[in-house]
Structure 1
Amino acid sequence: MSRVILVTGGAGFVGSHCVLTLLEANYEIIVMDNLSNAICTEINQNCLPESLRRIELLTSKKVKFFNTDLLDERGIGQIFRDHKIGAVMHFAGLKAVGESMVKPLEYYENNVTGTINLLKVMRKYNVKNLIFSSSATVYGLPQYLPIDENHPTGSTITNPYGRTKFVIEQILSDLSNSEKDWCIVSLRYFNPIGAHESGEIGEDPQGIPNNLMPFISQVAVGRRPKLQVFGDDFKTKDGTGVRDYIHVMDLAWGHVIALDKLFQNKWSGYKIFNLGNGCGLSVLEVITAFEKITGVKVPYEIVARRPGDVDAMYADNSKAIELLGWKPNYTIDDMCKHTWNWQSKNPKGYRTDNS
């Protein structure tokens, strides 16, 4: 099997960290990204996304890049025609929960239709090894904690983003049932945070951050005046929402391990794994941990709860530990330390006007 891996959405936060880890594991990487959540720098004349340019410097290896959209089936096909691809890691997709509430059609078109386009091209070129970037949002409102892979999915999802992930999972399951030569792994993320310990790549959301940790770090570095904490009346120990936070490098290694299993022909059909730390932290606990590690005060205000936010959600990760041979290695202190290393080195993210 060819060790050439196509990574869709590989210039984004999770995708870029997986690209780096795949290169370190001696895979050859092609990245396809429409740059909706990534930038190219002015000094980068070939318009290689800045995250990938830095990865090339960190690894001393090259990345082939194509500015191609999932909705461009012909463009996807061109990539497959010109390269002997062995497997696909599929990260590309719109992912802001709040935005999905006001732009549901765009989310269904981009995420679901885009994935169907990708699968059709993969089938045409007989590339049937896929690792899909899924989400714990498919579980909807938790019926019990911690959440394992047998928890019901679909019926109580609270936003269109989560429903697109659920629909895609159903498509993948149906496809693997109907065509037995597919090998598909869905990895259900909980809350990826942190950054590569070099501080050269990290999370750089465009506009106001939708997730907690980049919001905290942007406040700490002075880009925003204060953090908004959405609600203090949850049924938790301090009234703020509890979530499972996983270091992005632990997440990246989970992908590489799953890919290795596919290449060793140890699996067939459709597999699902939770990738989370296996415990929950409240918003205020994360703020406190960040302040302790960095010595920087993070001012915040309590504002109204967001529609659809649940009290607590965290993973049972025992299946991934047992069957993948994976386990999380980084603590919340590591996550805070590495986030701050990235943000303090890059106050404006990947933009070139950091000075």
Structure 2
Amino acid sequence: MGSHTCVALIEAGFTPIILDNFSNSHPAVLQRLAQITGRAVVCEQGDVLDTPWVEAVLRRHQVAGVMHFAGDKAVGESVAQPLKYYRNNISGAVSLLEAMQAANCQTLVFSSSATVYGDPASVPITEDFPRQHTNPYGHTKLVIEDMLAAMQVADPAWQLGVLRYFNPVGAHPSGLIGEDPSGIPNNLMPFVAQVAIGKRPFLNVYGNDYATPDGTGVRDYIHVQDLAQGHVAALQRLLQSGESFTVNLGTGSGNSVLEVVKAFELASGRPVPCQMAARRPGDVAQCYAYPALAQRLLGWRAERTLADMCTDVWRWQSGNPNGYQ
């Protein structure tokens, strides 16, 4: 998300400054961002948990607004390693907010998640649905949302855009940047891509007995390019109006795991063998957005299709079989 949003920010006339500890990303991205945008991107290497360092970076660059992407995001891993998620996600957000407050920078676009809706009673999901959680990852996002609300009560000068992502997939159409997970992918699309290219023998489909048309989980998959443009629209809205908001960023429709597999086979011309497996703890049957509020507030809506997402992921994966290595 961060690298694609950097491109979108530059295209919109902003000057992004990257803060990264490269725990789940690669310095090679910087060179590729320069190839895509035609300009070097400044990167400060350090950890969001280091509050004095974050404050110093904000002051040195006279940062006008922050987009917070630095969090762990895999549902299954959060169930297995909850403390990792509470420390990195919640403590990281506290550290960032302390640094922003000290540096007098009070404009923030926060990457939240549709997981704050837990297992919804119905779909599509609107922003006023009850919030709940079914896993530690979702719990961290919910806690951070509450923390941001408390910050604004304490000081109304805060300008906060909370973006509840649904399921980001895809890659930049240049094929130069894309998702390169370390180890075994925790998300569907990169795993499908690695099966298609021959790095993995088959895809585990976790649960084929959900109350969905084909029994597999249904999600709202949104192209990372659309999502990046949603972040730019959110920042522009905050800077222009000063009013805080919370919006869903999704397409408004869902696709099942098997529908994604079929779409990827069409895009790649490669088979994606599947093996059925038990449901994963913390997963829900279906989850997709009602995104009208984002269109009304931000003038934004998702434009790219599932076929676009699969085509761009295949271009990235086939052109970079070993990721950024």
Does the TM-score normalized on the shorter chain lie above 0.5?
Answer: yes
Q: Greater shift after overlay, 328-337 or 92-101?
A: 92-101
The question of whether the paired residues in 1 share the 8 Å contact of 2:79 and 2:281 is answered with no
Query: Is 1:327 matched with 2:301?
Result: yes
Matches within 5 A, 1:1-355: 14-39=1-26, 49-154=27-132, 157-264=133-240, 266-268=241-243, 270-351=244-325
Specify the code of the residue in structure 2 equivalent to 1:244. Answer: D
Specify the code of the residue in structure 2 equivalent to 1:247. Answer: H
| Counterparts of 2:268 and 2:60, CA distance in 1 | 47
Count of residue pairs brought into register by the alignment: 325
Specify the code of the residue in structure 2 equivalent to 1:16. Answer: S
| Counterparts of 2:31 and 2:53, CA distance in 1 | 23
| Displacement after TM superposition at 1:98 (Å) | 1.3
The question of whether the paired residues in 2 share the 8 Å contact of 1:23 and 1:61 is answered with no
Partner secondary structure for residue 106 of structure 1: helix
| Displacement after TM superposition at 1:222 (Å) | 1.0
Alignment deviations for residues 285-332 of structure 1 (CA, whole Å, 9 cap, x no partner):
111111112211111111111112111110000111111110111000
Specify the code of the residue in structure 2 equivalent to 1:31. Answer: I
Partner secondary structure for residue 16 of structure 2: strand
| Displacement after TM superposition at 1:102 (Å) | 2.1
Please report the TM-score for the alignment, with normalisation by the length of structure 1. Answer: 0.90
Partner secondary structure for residue 28 of structure 1: coil
Alignment deviations for residues 80-122 of structure 1 (CA, whole Å, 9 cap, x no partner):
2322110000000111211111221221111111111111111
| Counterparts of 1:87 and 1:211, CA distance in 2 | 29
Partner secondary structure for residue 174 of structure 1: helix
Alignment deviations for residues 105-140 of structure 1 (CA, whole Å, 9 cap, x no partner):
221111111111111111111101000011000110
Q: Corresponding residue for 1:8?
A: none
| Counterparts of 1:15 and 1:121, CA distance in 2 | 20
Q: Greater shift after overlay, 275-284 or 57-66?
A: 57-66
| Displacement after TM superposition at 1:267 (Å) | 3.3
| Counterparts of 2:118 and 2:8, CA distance in 1 | 30
Q: Corresponding residue for 1:42?
A: none
| Counterparts of 2:242 and 2:105, CA distance in 1 | 15
Query: Identity rate of aligned residues, in percent?
Result: 52
Alignment deviations for residues 227-265 of structure 1 (CA, whole Å, 9 cap, x no partner):
11111101111111111000000000000011111222x
Unaligned runs of 5+ in 2: none
The question of whether the paired residues in 2 share the 8 Å contact of 1:16 and 1:51 is answered with yes
Specify the code of the residue in structure 1 equivalent to 2:4. Answer: H
Partner secondary structure for residue 29 of structure 2: helix
Unaligned runs of 5+ in 1: 1-13, 40-48
Please report the TM-score for the alignment, with normalisation by the length of structure 2. Answer: 0.98
| Counterparts of 1:310 and 1:118, CA distance in 2 | 31
Partner secondary structure for residue 153 of structure 2: helix
Q: Corresponding residue for 1:10?
A: none
Q: Which runs of 4+ in 1 moved over 2 A?
A: none
| Counterparts of 1:244 and 1:275, CA distance in 2 | 10
| Counterparts of 1:96 and 1:294, CA distance in 2 | 26
